[in-house]
Structure 1
Amino acid sequence: MAKGIDYAGKNNSTKSNLRAIKDAGYKFIGRYYGESDWKRLTKEEARLISDAGLYIVTVYQNGGRDIDEFTYTNGKKACRSAIRQAEEVGQPYDTPIYFAVDMEIKNNSDFEAIDDYFRGIVKEMSNYKRDNNGDGFKIGVYGSYYVVKYIDEEVSGVTYLWQCKAWSYGKDYKNRDLYQYSIDKPLKLNNGNTIYVDFCESTGSAGGFQVD
């Protein structure tokens, strides 16, 4: 299993911190696309992470904590925004963008909502590939055991699975690519800094990338 971390604050990605993260044995960093400037991955940050010898895993989140956000139309909108940001960063085609469901999903109407949302994402990515000579990004889902299991079984076109510990009640989905097993914990670095991160592990097929 490859060790990694994710964090929202892009200010954590200094040259000194990234060297120390690499020295500590971590292989990848999960970073965000979305509509919040303070946490959105930039081209400059992606280059810093890559130059440190680390890989990047991207997840799109703009809210993701209100079931009313999960509609077919919003799925298409989220996918368009994620594609634009991935292009700006220089994320290579055929690597995944995960889309976050950062809440507990527990009843049929909730599952129907996220089903619609991801079908919107899949449709928009299909349209993008059609208009881009077949090139595009893979689609992933970030969420609890129940979310990743449902999307894996019910929505064709979502091929990467990032399970979080939250709301999983000790269950571990067999097909997952990533597992976020510890949330908002301090990571003491050998440069003297401490940053707060989520700790992750990858099966080796999480879809990390580097940029030039």
Structure 2
Amino acid sequence: MAKGFDCSTPLTAETAALFAADGYSFVCRYLVPSGWKRLTAEEAAVISEAGLNIVSVFETTANRPLGGRSAGLADGATAAQTAYSIGQPPGSTIYFAVDFDATSNQMQTVIDYIRAASEATPDFNTGVYGSYAVVEAVSASGACSRFWQTYAWSSGKLSGAAHLYQYRNNVQANGITIDLDESYGNEGWWNLMAEPLAVEDANQLIEILKGLYNAGIGQDEAHRLANALRRASGQPEE
């Protein structure tokens, strides 16, 4: 289990270093194209240089998922474009927030939103942030593969599907207000200090994918993954 936090306030080199010294492993920040709370490429570099990992979460308004499929497609496209612009690597995760107490009557609309956001972010894993009920319902639907649960609206329950858990809000630390989180692994965080994928290694994996493609096994997915490997190793797509 790893110790982390989420916050609206952008981190400086000083605050990032203080949190790293306090034993935090990751910070969850807003992957949005504009606004004071957004994660920028410059902040991502500062966080990475401090030795912290980044969890990306997309949220514009709390009830945005009630826009359903059309909202999910639009937000997914925006999130992917924003991720590329700040250097978030393919294969990491973008979480989409359901930051309200979704009812059972609203849940299918929420699922439709998350599924569409996932379709619009093919180079990234897709996650959902929300209550126990949201995590359980979205997990059962197969709409995404990563889950960040908040204690809010959860009646003390923790989903077995959760990769991240937000367990306390509004804590003062190192001069800013944060929420406390813990990670259970495979959450899809990222940083800018990781070594780029070597061309030779990428091409070996691409050859394996070509074998699957030529055998007629998962051709669309094999093609997508091969191009993701090309991008990660600095090669042109095909």
- Taking structure 1 as the reference length, the TM-score comes to 0.87
The sequence identity of aligned pairs, in percent, is: 36
| Aligned partner letter, 1:176 | A
Residue 129 of structure 2 is aligned to residue 142 of structure 1: yes
Superposition deviation, residue 35 in structure 1: 4.6
CA contact (8 A) 1:118 1:155 kept: no
Q: Deviations over 1:21-53 (max 9, x none)?
A: 001000000000125420111100000000000
- Taking structure 2 as the reference length, the TM-score comes to 0.78
CA contact (8 A) 2:9 2:176 kept: no
For residues 83 and 141 of structure 1, the distance between their equivalents in structure 2, rounded to whole angstroms, comes to 15
Superposition deviation, residue 208 in structure 1: 1.2
CA contact (8 A) 2:169 2:178 kept: yes
Superposition deviation, residue 112 in structure 1: 1.6
In structure 1, the partner of 2:158 is 172
Segments of 5+ residues of structure 2 without an aligned counterpart are 194-238
Which of residues 96, 100, 104 in structure 1 aligns to 2:101?
104
In structure 1, the partner of 2:29 is 31
For residues 93 and 139 of structure 1, the distance between their equivalents in structure 2, rounded to whole angstroms, comes to 11
Q: Which structure is higher in helix share?
A: 2
Structure number, greater radius of gyration: 2
Segments of 5+ residues of structure 1 without an aligned counterpart are 130-135
In structure 1, the partner of 2:45 is 47
In structure 1, the partner of 2:181 is 200
The SS at the match of 1:70 is helix
CA contact (8 A) 1:4 1:202 kept: yes
| Root-mean-square deviation (Å) | 1.3
For residues 49 and 86 of structure 1, the distance between their equivalents in structure 2, rounded to whole angstroms, comes to 15
For residues 122 and 51 of structure 1, the distance between their equivalents in structure 2, rounded to whole angstroms, comes to 29
Query: What is the aligned length?
Result: 193
Higher-RCO chain (CA-CA 8 Å, sequence separation at least 6): 1
| Aligned partner letter, 2:152 | A
